[in-house]
Each structure stands twice: as C-alpha cells, then as structure tokens.
Amino acid sequence: MRPPAPGADIVVFSALGKESAAVMDHLEGPLAEHEVRGALFELGEFTGEHATWRVACHETGEGNAAAAALVERAVTEFEPHHIFFVGIAGGLKDVQLCDVVAARHIYDYERGKDEEEGFQARITTHLSSFALVQRAQSVARSEIWRDRIRAPLPDRTPKAYVKPLAAGSKVVVSERSATARLLARHCGDALAVEMEGYGFLQAAYVNAGVGALVVRGISDLLSDKGEDNDDVWQPAASRCAAAFTFEVLSKLSAPPVRRGGLGNFVGELRRTRQPGGQATIGFGPDHSAVVIGGDGSIERWDLKSGESLPGVPGEGELRLGHQAIASPCRHSVAIARRTRLELVHFVGTSGEHRRRTAPLAQDEFLVTSGGTVVATHDGRRLAVRDFEDGRILREVPCPRGLAASAISTDASVVAMATSNKVHVHQRHRGSVELDIRNRLGILKPGCWLSVSPSGRYVACATFRELRVWLTDDQTIVLHREFSRQESVDSLGAQGMRLLCTDEGKVLWLRRGLLSQVTHQPEIRHLEQAGRYDDFAVHPDGNLLAAVSGTSLVRTWEWNG
C-alpha cells in the first residue's frame, strides 16, 4: 500500500537525459522526487500567464513501448490535465538544425505486412490533442517562444512548425536507406523522424480527457549527419523544444478546480413507465440514457435535449436483481428473462428495433457489465457472448463457491470472486488469484465485484474490506477496511452495486444510498435525493445518473 500521489497538473516526458535537463531548467525548485512502481518522477512548478502549474518530469528511455508504458503509469498516478513528450528528432525535409516541430499527428511507419513479394506498409497514425495543436499553432506564428531558450544557440535562429512526425524503433542515418525510402513514400508530409511519439499518443488516446502533444527539436538532418550532432546540436535542439513547450504551457488557461464527488445537478428525465421490480440504468452512444424497468420495458432519452426517444414496452418479469444491461457502445440492451437472454437492438435513436434471443439455463444469470459483448454465468462457467445474437464466444471456468462476477467492456478482463478470493483472467495473459478478507467466514458470505471499463482495475468489496488492484501487476491502489457498523449496514441489503471507473475511483450503492469509497475514514455519501435502484457513470467519466422506483431519473456532473 503506497501513500497518495502528490498532485501534478502536467507531466512532461523525455527519452534522454539531456532532453530532461532542458525541460527541468524551466521549473522552479527545489524539485521533489516521487517514485511510481520504480519509475522516478521529479516535480516542480511553472508559472504561466494564467496559472501556476505543478509539473512532473520523467525520463522514459528510448522507444514507443517504453513511452506508452510510462504514460499509462503516470496518468494513473497523477491524473494530469495535459501531458507532453519533449525532445529531439532527425529532420527529413524542410527543416534546419534547432527548428521545432510540434506534431499535428504521428505516423507509425513500421506497421505493415511482410509478404513473399516484400514488406507492405500499413501506416497508422495518432493525433495530438486538438486544443494543444491549436495553441501550438498560435505560438509557432510568434517569435516570442525563442525568448525562453535558456542558453545561446550556435549561430541559429530557429523556426517552429506544427506538422506531422514519423516514429519507429530504427535510428535512420542515411537518406538512401530502405527506411528513408519508405518514409518518403508513405509519410511524405512528415518533417522529422523520432522514436517515442507514436507510443506516447497511443497511450494518451486510451486515457480520455488528457491533452497530449509531442514537441521535437531538430538535432540532425538525414541529408547531413555531422560528427558534432550529439555534443552540440542535441542539447541545443532540446533547449529549443523545451522553450516552445513551456511557451505553449504559459498560454494555457487555468485548469478547472477538481471537486470530488458530484458536481452540478444537470437535470431530471421523466419516466412514463413505472412497472414493479428493480430498474436498471445505463448510458448508450450518441449522448443517450437508457432505463430498463422491472418488466423489461426500455425507455430512452437524448441527454442533450432531454427529450425522450422511442423505447419498447415490457413483457413480464425478469430474473432477480439487476438482470439487464444497456451497452455504452451500441444502441442495444440485454435482458435476462426467466428462460432466455433477450437482446434488443435499436437502429440509432429511432424507434425501429429487432430482438434476438438465446436460451438460458435455470441457474444462469446475466453479468451486469460489458458493452461490446455480454456475459452470463452459472456455477460452472462464465460464458462471454456476442451482443448481437447471444451465441457463446468463449467460456471461463468458475471457481467453486462463486459469489460475484464482472467483465470489462470487451471481456478482455474477466473477474470472479468467492467469499475470500478474486480470480482475474486476462485474455492472452493467463490468470491470477488475489486474496481478500471477509467476516463470518464459516457462513461463506458474499461480496461485490467490479472491473473498470477498460479492464485497468479490479475492485472487490466484502463485509470486511474493499480492495482495488491494478490488473497488470496486481498492485493495490486502494484498500479500505470497514468498521463493524459499516459491515452491519451491508447485511441483507438488496440491489447493492459496486462500480470502479477507469480512474480507479469506486462508487457503491448500498440500501439505495450512493457513496464513494476512498482512503478517508468515513464512506462519503454523495449528494442525492431519495433512494435509488441503480446508477451509471458515463463512458467519458463526466456524468452520473441514478434511477429509482419513482418517475424520475436524475443526472449530475461527475468529478470523481
């Protein structure tokens, strides 16, 4: 169990020591150190025109894979607003030594297929964040950024560009090499080539809400590899890239204040159907919300306008508990009825829909998570099913004494828990078994389980404690032991629901009251009116909705 991370609004990555040194020259000291699972970050402050930013710096080493891994680690730890990769690159065309290129997008030039007739390139790209590209364009049009260069340059007046870059693992030293010819043929508008930017942007892409930009100074040219590049031009180009980056940062507006828990109340959606039984809520694509009633009726709303969308009436009771799920990825709903799994597919936001069914065994229940796929379980196996027709795609054996199960959106991570063990299965990576403590062990009490949408985290709550693990290495990122009164509050409670977000935040619905579980001594009840059947967090992580047996669905901004 490690201590909470210090705050950092910005994280700046570099591959080489001379690049990191150029970045840290812009920070106000003394610098503090913080270790994240062996990776050392150095933190300082930078005062811009609109805000003072807390900045964490890290030297990743060379390569796309290293950059991607360290970005993931830093975003999880610090939850920054923006991340930058700053360093040097080799110029391909239209640039001179010490010029700066901020990447509009980056090509992965090594992706392709090696066939009998030769290598067939299949170039892919990732974009820098739109807002940071816009700010970089504004800075590039001005010469003011040059005033931030920390030391004189060797007879150069650098220029700045916002253009594409190319990234790969090769060090390209000749314009006549096969790689240089491939770059000219498939990445013709790239001004420079480097080694980490694509992996950096790929990692940023899967972390919604984090701005990302790659900034490179030109330290050598493909057409002119001089002997003094490493000693003279690499430090000079690093200083230019750092100067441009901090000019961009100086112009950024102050970040919004992060207030934990619920933010502003957004509004209410009025239900027209109020069947008996427990209601289930979820968010669908195209800014829609979905409620499934206790009889399988489906109601939908457009969140932008607040207007209702066409739904379908109910057709009888569902199985006990939360036995329905609304997909966040498609306009589809899965409902577990007494003898069958029913899949309802809408055509966009229209009322046109079709139904598909698959048989369910008497003791088979719906796993109330997923999205691109759906899952069911009995005491023997968990079946991952196609969300289109319910056919079984793969099966995972259940542990003896199964008490709870959960899957990530695509079921790449499957978790199943007994009263004191959590079994985590990662597709293509095998399984691990995690320990968790419970009370009244002789009675084999139950537990509650959640996998975050991407599969990054697994959370489990028992009558004794809550634990949240990082899936990749099983690091415990949150551990909360419950008091005896908190344990008593859970006994016999119906409709309890645990949810873990992709930021590792944990929400818990107990006896109709919605709470957030943190390191703090008290479980924090969130602002709410009434008691709820179910709740959901929007895939973008910025909205929360809850439904009860009344006619209202309530929505809030979520700043968890």
Model confidence over 352-374: pLDDT tens digits?
999 999 999 988 989 988 899 99
- Contact in structure between 246 and 228 (CB atoms under 8 Å): no
Per the confidence metrics, is the pTM higher than 0.95?
Answer: no
More confident residue, 205 or 4: 205
Confidence band of 117 (pLDDT split at 50, 70, 90): low
> What's the mean pLDDT in 172-195?
78
Q: Poorest-confidence range of 32-36, 264-268, 381-385, 489-493?
A: 489-493
Confidence (pLDDT) at 278: 79
Query: Measured between alpha carbons, how far is 404 from 499 in angstroms, rounded to an integer?
Result: 13
Q: Is the model's pLDDT at 164 over the cut of 50?
A: yes
Q: Poorest-confidence range of 443-447, 483-487, 514-518?
A: 443-447
> What's the mean pLDDT in 258-280?
69
**List of residues 6+ apart from 508 with CB closer than 8 A:** 448, 461, 466, 496, 497, 498, 499, 514, 515, 516, 517, 523
Confidence (pLDDT) at 1: 35
Percent of the chain scored above 90 by pLDDT? 44
Alpha carbons within 13 angstroms on the beta-carbon side of residue 395 total 10
Residue that the structure tokens 């209601």 belong to: 279
Confidence band of 451 (pLDDT split at 50, 70, 90): very high
DSSP-assigned beta bridge partners for residue 422:
417, 434
Query: Measured between alpha carbons, how far is 50 from 251 in angstroms, rounded to an integer?
Result: 7
Query: Measured between alpha carbons, how far is 202 from 195 in angstroms, rounded to an integer?
Result: 13
pLDDT digits (tens, 9 = 90+) for 387-431: 999 999 999 999 998 989 999 999 999 999 998 899 999 988 889
Confidence band of 450 (pLDDT split at 50, 70, 90): very high
Confidence (pLDDT) at 208: 65
Q: Is the model's pLDDT at 64 over the cut of 70?
A: yes
Looking at residue 395, its amino acid is: E
Q: Sign of the C-alpha dihedral, residues 416, 421, 423, 424? A: positive
Percent of the chain scored above 70 by pLDDT? 87
Q: Is the model's pLDDT at 50 over the cut of 80?
A: yes
- Contact in structure between 395 and 407 (CB atoms under 8 Å): no
Confidence (pLDDT) at 100: 97
Confidence (pLDDT) at 464: 87
Confidence (pLDDT) at 488: 67
- Contact in structure between 203 and 72 (CB atoms under 8 Å): yes
Report the chain's terminal Cα–Cα distance, integer Å: 21
Query: Measured between alpha carbons, how far is 432 from 422 in angstroms, rounded to an integer?
Result: 8
pLDDT digits (tens, 9 = 90+) for 210-231: 899 999 999 988 766 666 667 8
More confident residue, 154 or 232: 232
Q: Poorest-confidence range of 115-129, 138-152, 161-175?
A: 115-129
Mean pLDDT value across the chain: 85
**List of residues 6+ apart from 523 with CB closer than 8 A:** 480, 486, 508, 515, 516, 517
> What's the mean pLDDT in 326-350?
91
Query: Measured between alpha carbons, how far is 434 from 449 in angstroms, rounded to an integer?
Result: 13
